[in-house]
Amino acid sequence: MNSRRDFLQKLGAAAIPLSFLPKLGSANTTAFADERYEGPVLRVAILGLGSYATRVADAMQACTKAKLVGVISGTASKITAWQSKYNIPAKNCYDYSTFDNIKNNPDIDAVYVITPNSLHHDFVLRTAKAGKHAICEKPMAVNAKEGQAMVEACKKANVKLLVGYRMHFEPKTLEIVRMRKAGELGQIMFFQGLCGFKIGDPTQWRLNRQLAGGGAMMDIGIYAINGSRYMVGEEPIWVTAQETKTDTVKFKEGVDETIQFQLGFPSGAVATCLSTYNMNNLDRFFLNGQQGWAEMQPSTGYGPIKGRTNKGELTHPHVTHQTVQMDEMAGIILEGKQPIVPVDGEEGVKDLKIIDGIYMAVKSGKKVDLKL
């Protein structure tokens, strides 16, 4: 298994996307509605044409509010292949050196940055300078300082900055969020997030600190960080963390193998989480309240997500996450829709502040206060 992408893809291999999606509170998704959509369409160029970009592009073929119209890559052969596969006109194709010319292209509204983590910052800044909306894969940057700079650049350019939090639109996830908000679980006391897999190829970019910004925490651990926030419904105020490293050849200095971390919330609720590149079968969320509980396993894979609560199994139909994500993001950008769980740049910065705090806690061995 070479990466989180492979791990999540295996989890979703048996999934059969259905042709409809129930309404999800205020995030009414039209991606699978029976009626023909005739509203505005977000025209998207994808930057970075790796395996996950291909997954997004394939999923976008079923979108009604978003359309893939352009590509940006440092590899000419990939551009040619994508042109053919997705019927992309040559005028909407760029390499990294010509990318800034996208500002003169009125047929592209937004750029989805899907590159190694350390490249997100510069490409989002260039996207904003070109006057295009930016969608950025998570983690949004390698630290909170870079993330905040991205937020400010997009605000200055009067463009949107969204982060690829696909789980924020997933039906079972949103049902648990609804139950928690409605008080059906009572006061929340505890959250557990377990995220990990055994990584393969030691030469891949995810094990290169300069490209990844860290190790497992920057790749799979962010799901537990973000999940703790939307499941508990509060922002953490402190963090403690401990690192375990058993292979110093594969996991070099600055590339974390396994980190356990604990979060404290204003209400007194606590979270305990695990992020690892050295254990399989870890994709579980558990939320415990004084009047009920919710469990998801798998909790963040490509699907189908499985969930149950003290009231029984969650039976919402599986939908392709990236299709729903892109249609919902089109609604946010073009229509000003407000998602149930935020996906904006400020949301991304909060996760980065926690990651910064986790690394600080690992280094110091002390509790680190958080101010999100």
CB neighbours (10 Å) of residue 252? 14
Active site residue 85: no
> Residue 64 above 60 pLDDT?
yes
Q: What is the pTM of this model?
A: 0.91
pLDDT single digits (tens) 308-320: 999 999 999 999 9
Catalytic residue among 52, 86, 112, 223: 223
| pLDDT (0 to 100) of residue 230 | 98
| Contacts by 313-319, CB closer than 8 A, 24 or more apart | 314/172, 314/175, 314/176, 316/22, 316/171, 316/172, 316/175, 317/18, 317/20, 317/21, 317/22, 317/171, 318/15, 318/16, 318/17, 318/18, 319/17, 319/18, 319/21, 319/31, 319/32, 319/171
The confidence score (pLDDT) of residue 23 equals: 40
Q: For the chain, what is the mean pLDDT?
A: 93
Q: What integer pLDDT is reported at residue 90 of this predicted model? A: 98
Whole-number pLDDT of residue 8: 53
Higher per-residue pLDDT: 9 or 24? 9
Tokens representing 208 are 């290169």
Residue the block writes with tokens 């994709």: 283
**How do residues 206-259 score in pLDDT, each as one tens digit?**
999 999 999 999 999 999 999 999 999 999 999 999 999 999 999 999 999 999
d(CA 79, CA 99): 13
Q: What are the tens digits of pLDDT across the range 260-297?
A: 999 999 999 999 999 999 999 999 999 999 999 999 99
**Strand 161-163 vs strand 133-136: parallel, antiparallel, or unpaired?**
parallel
Is the pLDDT at 10 greater than 70, yes or no? no
Question: Of the residues 65, 132, 138, 172, which is catalytic?
Answer: 138
Instruction: Return d(Cα 129, Cα 203) in angstroms, integer.
Output: 33
User: What Å distances lie between residue 273 and 78, 148, 268, 357, CA to CA?
Assistant: 38, 25, 16, 14
- Average pLDDT (178-182) is 98
**What pLDDT is recorded for position 15?**
40
Is pLDDT at 28 greater than 70 in this prediction?
Answer: no
Q: How far apart are CA 93 and CA 145, in angstroms?
A: 31
Counting residues of the chain whose pLDDT is more than 70, the rounded percentage is 91
In the structure encoding, which two tokens stand for residue 133, read together? 């909306």
pLDDT at site 36 = 84
Domains of the chain, first to last: 4-165 (3.40.50.720), 167-317+344-369 (3.30.360.10)
**In this structure, are residues 346 and 149 in contact, taking their beta carbons and an 8 Å threshold?**
no
Q: What is the pLDDT of residue 19?
A: 34
8 Å CB contact between 214 and 139: no
Residue 330's pLDDT band (cuts 50, 70, 90): very high
Predicted local distance difference test score (pLDDT) of residue 3: 53
Nearest to 206 by CA among 279, 247, 256: 256
Tracing tokens 């039906």 back to the chain, one arrives at 171
Q: Active site includes 138?
A: yes
Split at pLDDT 50, 70, 90, the class of 6 is: low
How many DSSP H helices and E strands does the chain contain?
10, 15
Contact 43, 135 (CB under 8 A): no
Task: For 149-174, write each residue's pLDDT tens digit.
Answer: 999 999 999 999 999 999 999 999 99
